[in-house]
């Protein structure tokens, strides 16, 4: 239902071009020193470098698996919010009735109560997605120049919570909510208090009240799970050491790669003097390819560590929330022109 950004080869090369330029400078500097200054003694055997490369590949693979696990868990949590929200909308329309009311109210009053609770739930999703977009010190992916140049910014970065909540709750409720630290939690408390009042007036049967309270309990659980991923980063000792190990490998690689190409060139000199003399320069593209693969895989892992940061690879919580809102308001019977449109895509990215 929700698509994600698909990097083309061209976009991927553009995304990593600054690091590729660094790799080019490293290898050209080393080959030039080796070729022009005759530094044939500056080399290391392949065996220790192969061991380092294997270790780096393992830790990068572990990082990528862990990052994907965080993304997938976040997606399952928000999938749960989708299902629970639809269930809530169905329960509200079928359980808030005059069936057990001692003093029945008008049909318009019943619809008004259903709308208030439904809108407050939309406000809860709005507050939750804003909370998930708040920047954390360890969320640095979006600050990278190559991420910023795409102009990818989630809707929460272009609005404030107070303005986004105004269409859904009363001014009194808004003032009360904005004074709380955890605004989504405060909204769920308001929902529970409202349901209790409806039960006391007989508009909501006691069994129905318990069912709706169970829905709120599930929303609390899903909110807590989402907050856990947001507030607990991928362990910094793993992330930092992975990055450090990758650069150790990338910087040591020329010490083994360039001498190997130089030896092949010496073997070719007898038959192909020109090719043999210049063969060492072929190490430049091979080094760039190997270094680029290791660095790009490590960077992809770092990009996926924080699934709510607001980058192209994150869980599209804004799109999910707006999709639920559209479903709920359509089922309330509202006109299409009164329902907000889905957030637009940019570069095939949903936010």
Tens of pLDDT along 303-330? Answer: 888 999 888 778 999 999 999 999 999 9
Residue 2's pLDDT is: 46
Domains of the chain, residue spans: 7-38+250-293, 43-234+305-338
- Could you give the C-alpha distances from 66 to 59, 285, 308, in angstroms and in order? 10, 31, 15
Q: For 179-191, what is each residue's pLDDT tens digit?
A: 999 999 999 999 9
Chain-centre distance of CA 185, in angstroms?
Answer: 22
Strand partners, 346: 349
Dist. CA 242–CA 237, nearest whole Å: 8
Q: For 34-46, what is each residue's pLDDT tens digit?
A: 888 877 777 888 8
Q: How confident is the model over 146-159, as a mean pLDDT?
A: 79
Residues 6+ apart with CB under 8 A from 63: 234, 238, 239, 242, 298, 301, 302
Chain-centre distance of CA 196, in angstroms?
Answer: 37
Strand partners, 349: 346
Reading the block at residue 28, the tokens are 């050209």
- Sequence length of the chain is 351
Buried b (16+ CB within 10 A) or exposed e, 280-293: bbebbeebbebbbe
Residue 6 has pLDDT above 50, yes or no: no
Q: How confident is the model at residue 194 (pLDDT cuts 50, 70, 90)?
A: very high
Residue 36's pLDDT is: 87
Q: How confident is the model at residue 16 (pLDDT cuts 50, 70, 90)?
A: confident
**Mean pLDDT, all residues of the chain:** 90
Residue whose token pair is 């500097």: 29
Helix (H) / strand (E) element for 200: namely helix 183-200
Residue whose token pair is 């080796």: 34
Dist. CA 318–CA 237, nearest whole Å: 31
Lowest-confidence region among 8-12, 151-155, 242-246, 268-272: 8-12
* Residue 307 CA neighbour count, 13 Å, CB half: 24
Buried b (16+ CB within 10 A) or exposed e, 223-262: bebbbebbeeebeeeebeebbebbeebbeebbebbbbebb
Q: Please, are residues 236 and 109 in contact by the beta-carbon 8 Å criterion?
A: no
Reading the block at residue 228, the tokens are 């856990």
Dist. CA 67–CA 234, nearest whole Å: 8
- The model's pTM: 0.88
Q: Is 143 helix (H, G, I), strand (E, B) or coil?
A: helix
Dist. CA 74–CA 68, nearest whole Å: 10
């Amino acid at each position: 239902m929700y698509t994600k950004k698909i990097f083309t080869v061209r976009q991927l090369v553009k995304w990593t071009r600054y690091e590729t330029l660094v790799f080019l400078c490293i290898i050209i500097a080393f080959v030039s020193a080796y070729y022009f200054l005759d530094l044939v003694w500056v080399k290391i055997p392949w065996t220790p470098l192969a061991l380092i490369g294997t270790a780096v590949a393992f830790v990068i693979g572990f990082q990528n698996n862990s990052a994907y696990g965080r993304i997938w868990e976040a997606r399952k949590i928000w999938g749960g919010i989708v299902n629970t929200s639809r269930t809530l909308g169905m329960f509200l329309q079928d359980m808030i009735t005059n069936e057990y009311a001692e003093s029945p109210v008008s049909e318009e009053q019943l619809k008004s109560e259903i709308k208030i609770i439904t809108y407050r739930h939309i406000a809860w999703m709005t507050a939750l997605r804003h909370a998930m977009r708040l920047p954390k010190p360890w969320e640095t992916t979006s600050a990278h120049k190559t991420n910023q140049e795409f102009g990818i910014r989630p809707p929460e970065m272009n609005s404030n919570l107070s303005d986004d909540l105004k269409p859904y709750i009363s001014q009194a409720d808004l003032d009360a909510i904005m004074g709380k630290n955890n605004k989504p939690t405060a909204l769920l408390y308001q929902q529970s208090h409202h349901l209790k009042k409806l039960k006391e007036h007989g508009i909501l049967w006691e069994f129905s009240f318990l069912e709706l309270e169970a829905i709120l309990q599930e929303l609390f659980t899903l909110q807590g799970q989402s907050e856990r991923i947001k507030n607990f980063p991928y362990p910094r000792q793993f992330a930092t050491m992975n990055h450090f190990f990758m650069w150790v490998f990338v910087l040591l690689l020329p010490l083994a790669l360039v001498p190997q190409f130089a030896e092949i060139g010496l073997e070719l000199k007898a038959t192909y003097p020109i090719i043999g003399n210049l063969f060492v320069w072929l190490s430049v593209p091979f080094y760039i390819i190997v270094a680029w693969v290791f660095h790009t895989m490590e960077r992809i892992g770092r990009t996926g560590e924080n699934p709510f940061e607001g980058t192209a690879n994150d869980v599209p919580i804004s799109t999910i929330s707006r999709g639920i809102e559209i479903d709920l308001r359509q089922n309330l019977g509202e006109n299409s022109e009164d329902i907000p449109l889905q957030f637009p895509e940019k570069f095939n990215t949903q936010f």
